[in-house]
Structure 1
Amino acid sequence: AAWYVTDILAGTAPPRHALRGKIAFKTGTSYGYRDAWSVGYDGRHVIGVWVGRPDGSSVPGLTGRRVAAPVLFESFARLSPGGYAPLSPAPEGALIAGNADLPLPLRHFGPARPVSRTARGRTLDIVYPPDQARVDLGLAAPGGERMPLVVKIKGGKPPFIWFANGALIARVKHRRSVRWMPDSSGFSSLTVLDARGKTDSVSVLLE
């Protein structure tokens, strides 16, 4: 049973830019975006990662997949720069079968279905600024004129709630853009939450 669980968890797609190789891992997110966690193991190490606030308050957009999993994989990369320790091979007598080889009632995954335009339109995306962008607002120049950051989205269902670095900055009924005047230069995290509970976040460097 342990090998079957490991085989399932090792088949989960890793975060982008993760070290090549396989680890078995699982992520989780608590109700209200209060806790994000990820636990994983290779053939030698077990690591658990928790991300959240000490007071247990909500951080919109905080999920195990988005926040905790990259930290988990970075930790493994630092422990094993040459590659992950191999997971245990299948034990003797283990049943290994593809989906097509299973009895029909056990086949959980059918052919991929095209996503309709209606379904695509329900997604919520921050279109400006893009993730990891560098934006010059005049914050780094002493005595210079400072400009607000204009953030734009597409999709989603109004009203929208906006957060910067976890703090509420705006509530808007229909407009798909918001202006925010940051206090200082540096990296900032921007998150938008719509009426369906969908979120999107970007991290930008403000100068």
Structure 2
Amino acid sequence: MDPRVTPLNISMSLRNSLYTQDHIKHKELQWAKDKEELTKNLKHQENLLQKLTADKNKFETRLEEVEGEKCSVEEKLQNDIVALESELSETKENMEALSKEKEEAINRCREMEDYISKMGVEFKETMHMVSNSIEWGKDVPGTITEAQKYSQSLVKDIVIRECQDKIMQLEKENHYHKEAIAMVVSVDNRYLCHESII
């Protein structure tokens, strides 16, 4: 028997062995606990990562939708701007044409008024001349026959009717031109109002 192996040595070795086993068990339990905690934390992190990934995907999808809507709105606005610019340009051209027509109508109205005034004077002069001719013929006894009187009366009636018809026609044209001017002025005012709003 080995002189170094004594009951005391065996007892100490046993104690050391038991201590080591207890220590190892304790460590194993601690490791198991740490592993469980780490596993739990890892699971929590995985769940959080999944949620963040889902939120990210949702956000990216919404961002794509918003970008699409933005492009659509921008395109619509651009088309509206082009249409409005075209309409404004066309309106300006129409206004220039209407202004020109207005000036022409005003000038024609002035010419008509001058012409009507002149025709009125000529009509009065013609009537005065016809009346004087009839009166002058009455002063000379036996110089005008019934046929001549009838002929003069017919001429007088024809001249009067022609003058009246001409005056009525001119007055109608003058009225038409005044209505055209009023319409042009109304459109002009609406255009100016539209421009002030823009």
TM tier, shorter chain? under 0.3
The structure in which a higher percent of residues are strand is 1
Between structure 1 and structure 2, the one with the greater Rg is 2
TM-score for both structures, normalised by structure 1 = 0.16
TM-score for both structures, normalised by structure 2 = 0.17
Q: Which has the higher contact order (CA 8 A, sep 6+)?
A: 2
